[in-house]
């Protein structure tokens, strides 16, 4: 039997004069998940009867693009570590290597901790939020295809349906009327909502994160994804089509939506029952 990496490589290469890179997927799962209100790390919150992280890992393995999955876990979370170890025993021969590391105080710290554990010989890294438990395989394939075609950075995006405005905190007389005032309207046709997995040439991502290590607290807090750091280097970031079911489970409403997606006609096939 061919390994998941080989079989995916065959599919990904079809029709394109490109070389499939050796890919590691970094999964950032060290967030507290406070906005979900469960009082436990988000990666452990049940979805369809299983922790969110298990869905995310199964999705990555099913996509067949990774030779290694590096997971940044909440520091000292023995339960999640045990679940990951159990999951790694389920993987078939030739499947991805699973590596667990302690995450950091910020998302970027967690990415850096995982990057330190990436095996030598890796060409490209996909950074994926554990909270995007239902990302379809096709999104992973589009990202890896763009890397194989020569992109140094690629992100999955979806169109924005709401009108988006910029605002400022009001003061003086305006503050008596409302807490914020509109300062502008961004042209919606140019806007995209950004998802993960975000794919990068390994050397580019390492350079971007090295630069970010000298950021002050305010600058660090403003970093919400990895592509931002690569943009700061002046490296072009390409955009491919994401998927609406690749939502980041953040609020109780997102969890209800994700449960509905699992139960609906597009239900994820590895959920039993
Ligand atoms: O909080 P936010 O929505 O930005 O989190 C996005 C992802 O980053 C989540 O999957 C979360 O687990 C992860 N994260 C992390 N380490 C942190 C903060 C967030 O791995 N310190």
| Domain contains 265 | yes
**Residue 235 reports pLDDT greater than 80:** yes
Ligand 1 probe mutation, 27, 30, 77, 111, most atoms within 8 A of CB: 30
The closest residue, in CA terms, to atom 3 on ligand 1 is 250
**Residue 163 reports pLDDT greater than 50:** yes
**Residue 108 reports pLDDT greater than 50:** yes
User: pLDDT tens digits, residue range 171-196?
Assistant: 988 899 999 999 999 999 999 999 99
| Domain contains 111 | yes
- Which pair of structure tokens corresponds to residue 56? 């995310």
Q: How far is the CA of 127 from the centre of ligand 1 (A)?
A: 11
Strand bridging mode 46-47 / 97-102: unpaired
Number of domains in the chain: 1
Helices (H), the chain: 4-13, 52-63, 78-90, 107-115, 137-148, 173-177, 202-212, 217-221, 226-232, 252-263
Pick from 126, 86, 97, 89: nearest CA to 4: 97
Q: Residue 210 is part of which domain span? A: 4-158+190-270
**Binding pocket residue ranges, ligand 1, CB within 6 Å:** 28-31, 42, 72, 103-107, 110, 129-131, 248, 250
Q: What's the pLDDT at 265?
A: 64
Proportion of the chain above pLDDT 90, given as a percent: 79
Which distant-in-sequence residues (6+ apart) come within 8 Å of 6 by Cβ?
94
Residue 11 confidence class, pLDDT cut points 50, 70, 90: very low
Q: Mean pLDDT score of the chain, rounded to an integer?
A: 90
Q: CA-to-CA distance for 265 and 254, rounded, in angstroms?
A: 18
| Domain contains 96 | yes
Question: What is the average per-residue pLDDT within 153-168?
Answer: 97
**Residue 2 reports pLDDT greater than 60:** no
**Residue 267 reports pLDDT greater than 70:** no
Question: What is the average per-residue pLDDT within 130-144?
Answer: 97
| Domain contains 226 | yes
Q: How far is the CA of 17 from the centre of ligand 1 (A)?
A: 36
CATH number at residue 215: 3.90.550.10
Q: Which atom of ligand 1 is nearest to the CA of 42?
A: 12
Q: How far is the CA of 193 from the centre of ligand 1 (A)?
A: 17
Q: Which atom of ligand 1 is nearest to the CA of 132?
A: 10
Q: How far is the CA of 250 from the centre of ligand 1 (A)?
A: 10
| Domain contains 174 | no
**Residue 79 reports pLDDT greater than 70:** yes
| Domain contains 119 | yes
| Domain contains 105 | yes
**Residue 3 reports pLDDT greater than 50:** no
| Domain contains 168 | no
């Amino acid at each position: 039997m061919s390994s998941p990496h080989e079989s995916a490589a065959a599919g990904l290469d079809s029709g394109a004069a490109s070389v499939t890179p050796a890919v590691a997927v970094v999964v950032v799962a060290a967030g507290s998940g406070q906005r979900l209100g469960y009082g436990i790390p988000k990666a452990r919150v049940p979805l369809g009867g299983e922790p969110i992280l298990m869905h995310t890992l199964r999705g990555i393995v099913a996509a067949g693009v990774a030779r290694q999955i590096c997971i940044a876990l909440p520091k000292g979370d023995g339960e999640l570590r045990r679940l990951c170890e159990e999951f790694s025993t389920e993987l078939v021969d030739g499947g991805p290597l699973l590596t667990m590391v302690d995450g950091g105080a910020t998302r970027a710290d967690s990415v850096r901790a995982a990057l330190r554990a990436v095996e030598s010989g890796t060409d490209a890294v996909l950074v994926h939020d554990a909270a995007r438990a239902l990302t379809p395989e096709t999104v992973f394939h589009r990202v890896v295809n763009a890397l194989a075609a020569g992109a140094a950075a690629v992100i999955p995006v979806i169109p924005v349906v709401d009108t988006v405005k910029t605002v400022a905190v009001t003061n003086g007389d305006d503050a008596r009327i409302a807490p914020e005032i509109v300062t502008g309207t961004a042209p919606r046709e140019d806007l995209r909502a950004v998802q993960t997995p975000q794919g990068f040439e390994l050397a580019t991502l390492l350079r971007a994160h090295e630069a970010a290590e000298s950021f002050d607290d305010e600058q660090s807090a403003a970093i919400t994804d990895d592509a931002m750091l690569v943009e700061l280097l002046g490296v072009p970031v390409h955009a491919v089509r994401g998927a609406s079911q690749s939502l980041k489970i953040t609020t109780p409403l997102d969890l209800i939506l994700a449960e509905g997606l699992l139960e609906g006609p597009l239900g994820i096939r590895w959920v039993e029952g």
